[in-house]
Chains A and B, each alone.
Chain A
Amino acid sequence: MATEATGNEKTGDENVDTAGGELVRFEKVVKRFGGNTVLDQLDFTVDAGKHVTLIGPSGSGKTTILRLLMTLTQPDEGRILVDGQPLDKEVRKKIGMVFQQFNLFPNMRVLRNVTEAPVRVLGLSKDEATERAKELLEMVGLGDKLDAYPTQLSGGQQQRVAIARALAMRPKVLLLDEVTSALDPELVAGVLDVLRDIARTTDITMLCVTHEMNFARDISDRVLMFDSGRVIEAGPPEQIFNDPQQQRTREFLSAVL
């Protein structure tokens, strides 16, 4: 079961590996909630610079993986390594996360949402942080909203601020947790465009959980299909979406596509 989950070798994508090597590694990770085993002896790795998408039915443990990486919850068994080191508060600084519900700080203006952590955590000067924030907000198309409060923005705009806020910490890995699920349909495209841009123009590693299959197909180097806390199939998007090997994957895709 664990060997099946590893899945790395059979896709052969070590041929296109960039110099970065392995950035995230899960080793036999088990996570239970009550009597329910959400992740079952999970092994998987993400190489630096890759864009990996986790798909699968709700409750299959995809979001739990992101939450484990962000230390929002702790594994019951197993090890998680990031950049070769065991996950702790220091290592966590290499990880950024964008949430389904945006989670902007409503008591701060847009600009300060983006500058707060770089100033407090990375020790940037206020000017440096402001400059960086303005660039990022410009990039996500919100250069004119610096002084707005989050509640004055649409959901799509808030999510783009949240992306800028995460990127301002210059993370090596960006976790995207169903970032369009809480958005009105007409706002989804704007957010996905921004993420496509980031995927194309930066070398940031992305780990996304999404129900947007077209987006997954667009940006992913690898797609992992989850079911019942395990990776049941992994491969490049063309393979997973066009020629899935597992019956369960076929069923899932025909239900969501």
Chain B
Amino acid sequence: MSTWSWSYVGHIMPDILKGLLVTVEATLLGSLISFVLGLVWALALRSSTRWVRWPVQAVTEFVRSTPLLVQLFFWFYVLPSTGVSFSPLTTGVLGLGLHYSTYTAEVYRAGIDGVPVGQWEAATALSLPRRHTWTAVILPQAVRRVVPVLGNYVIAMFKDTPLLAAITVLDMLGEARLDSAASFRYMEPITVVGILFVVIAYPTSLLMRALERRLGN
């Protein structure tokens, strides 16, 4: 086994940091999509029309029950055959966002259910329009409850981004593999990638816990 080479670490660092940027970008954009889309699902699942409820139920259940990697391959290899094609990164961000939106939908649902029924009744007693009841009364309370949980999904998504390397995105892992393939040295690139994940994910989860405590009362 070869010994650890700091000079090689220095050599690959710029590539890996470039990859880190892509990883962070994919996480943030993917999160944004999953937050918005998840809310859309959550509201659709509460629709009084079953023709809205059922298809959304079926789609979200299906997406949640299939592996993210399979979904990514599907969007990357199958979608272009229908004439729609995006860059690997865009495909990956959309795939991540869609996949995680089926989880955030559940999170929102729990948050909405957690708002006391008295809030709905008070809104009725004041004749607030339904739409305004959602936007001014229910959702602000529901979202506040679930921010920490959503935060945990961001961290989970962050740790899932290496899957994007499988569809040729040059995220951290993708860059690391390119370097490895060129030098036949695997220890440094892969180790550095692992450490960078910890360095980012751990403090973020501490932050989420602090946020949870703050919002808790």
Chain A positions 103-127 with a Cβ under 8 Å from a chain B Cβ:
103-108, 116-117, 120-121
Tell whether, in the assembled complex, residue B128 and residue A99 are in contact, meaning their CB atoms are under 8 Å apart.
Answer: no
Tell whether, in the assembled complex, residue B125 and residue A105 are in contact, meaning their CB atoms are under 8 Å apart.
Answer: no
- Contact partners of B144 in chain A: CB under 8 A: 107
Q: Nearest chain B CB to A165's CB is how many angstroms away?
A: 7
Tell whether, in the assembled complex, residue B126 and residue A72 are in contact, meaning their CB atoms are under 8 Å apart.
Answer: no
Q: Top 6 A-B pairs ranked by shortest CB distance?
A: A117-B126, A103-B122, A103-B118, A97-B125, A107-B140, A121-B127
The answer to the question of A70 belonging to the interface, with a C-beta cut-off of 8 Å to chain B, is: yes
Candidates B119, B127, B141; contact of A89 at CB < 8 Å: B127
Known: A95-B125, A104-B122, A117-B127. 9 other contacts (CB 8 A): A70-B124, A70-B125, A92-B127, A99-B125, A106-B141, A107-B137, A107-B144, A121-B127, A169-B126
Candidates B118, B124, B137; contact of A101 at CB < 8 Å: B118
- Contact partners of B124 in chain A: CB under 8 A: 70-72
Q: Nearest chain A CB to B129's CB is how many angstroms away?
A: 7
Tell whether, in the assembled complex, residue B121 and residue A116 are in contact, meaning their CB atoms are under 8 Å apart.
Answer: no
- Contact partners of A99 in chain B: CB under 8 A: 118, 121-122, 125
Q: Nearest chain A CB to B56's CB is how many angstroms away?
A: 27
Whole-angstrom distance between the alpha carbons of A105 and B120 in the complex? Answer: 10
Chain B positions 116-172 with a Cβ under 8 Å from a chain A Cβ:
116, 118-119, 121-122, 124-129, 132, 136-137, 140-141, 144
Whole-angstrom distance between the alpha carbons of A70 and B129 in the complex? Answer: 15
List the A residue with the shortest CB-CB distance to B137. A105
Given A99-B121, A105-B119; A117-B128 close (CB under 8 Å): yes
Q: Nearest chain B CB to A64's CB is how many angstroms away?
A: 14
Tell whether, in the assembled complex, residue A120 and residue B128 are in contact, meaning their CB atoms are under 8 Å apart.
Answer: yes
Whole-angstrom distance between the alpha carbons of A71 and B128 in the complex? Answer: 13
List the B residue with the shortest CB-CB distance to A90. B127
Candidates A96, A106, A116; contact of B136 at CB < 8 Å: A116
Tell whether, in the assembled complex, residue A121 and residue B122 are in contact, meaning their CB atoms are under 8 Å apart.
Answer: no
A residues contacting B by CB (< 8 A) are: 70-72, 89, 92-93, 95-97, 99, 101, 103-108, 116-117, 120-121, 165-166, 169
Whole-angstrom distance between the alpha carbons of A107 and B121 in the complex? Answer: 16
Q: Chain A at the B interface: mostly helix, strand, loop or mixed?
A: loop
- Contact partners of B140 in chain A: CB under 8 A: 107
List the B residue with the shortest CB-CB distance to A165. B126
- Contact partners of B121 in chain A: CB under 8 A: 70, 72, 99, 103
Q: Nearest chain B CB to A49's CB is how many angstroms away?
A: 21
Whole-angstrom distance between the alpha carbons of A166 and B129 in the complex? Answer: 16
Whole-angstrom distance between the alpha carbons of A116 and B116 in the complex? Answer: 19
Whole-angstrom distance between the alpha carbons of A159 and B184 in the complex? Answer: 72
List the B residue with the shortest CB-CB distance to A104. B122
- Contact partners of A165 in chain B: CB under 8 A: 126
Whole-angstrom distance between the alpha carbons of A165 and B140 in the complex? Answer: 20
- Contact partners of A103 in chain B: CB under 8 A: 116, 118-119, 121-122
List the B residue with the shortest CB-CB distance to A175. B125
- Contact partners of A106 in chain B: CB under 8 A: 141
- Contact partners of B141 in chain A: CB under 8 A: 106-107
List the A residue with the shortest CB-CB distance to B140. A107
Given A107-B140, A107-B141; A120-B129 close (CB under 8 Å): yes
Whole-angstrom distance between the alpha carbons of A117 and B126 in the complex? Answer: 6
- Contact partners of A104 in chain B: CB under 8 A: 122
- Contact partners of B126 in chain A: CB under 8 A: 96, 116-117, 121, 165-166, 169
Whole-angstrom distance between the alpha carbons of A103 and B118 in the complex? Answer: 6
List the A residue with the shortest CB-CB distance to B144. A107
Whole-angstrom distance between the alpha carbons of A105 and B122 in the complex? Answer: 8
Whole-angstrom distance between the alpha carbons of A71 and B137 in the complex? Answer: 19
- Contact partners of B122 in chain A: CB under 8 A: 99, 103-105
Given A71-B124, A105-B137, A116-B136; A121-B118 close (CB under 8 Å): no
- 14 A-B interface contacts by CB (under 8 A): A70-B121, A71-B124, A92-B127, A99-B118, A99-B121, A99-B125, A101-B118, A103-B116, A104-B122, A105-B136, A107-B140, A116-B126, A120-B128, A120-B132
- Contact partners of B127 in chain A: CB under 8 A: 89, 92-93, 117, 121, 169
- Contact partners of B125 in chain A: CB under 8 A: 70, 72, 95-97, 99, 166
- Contact partners of A166 in chain B: CB under 8 A: 125-126
Q: Nearest chain A CB to B126's CB is how many angstroms away?
A: 4
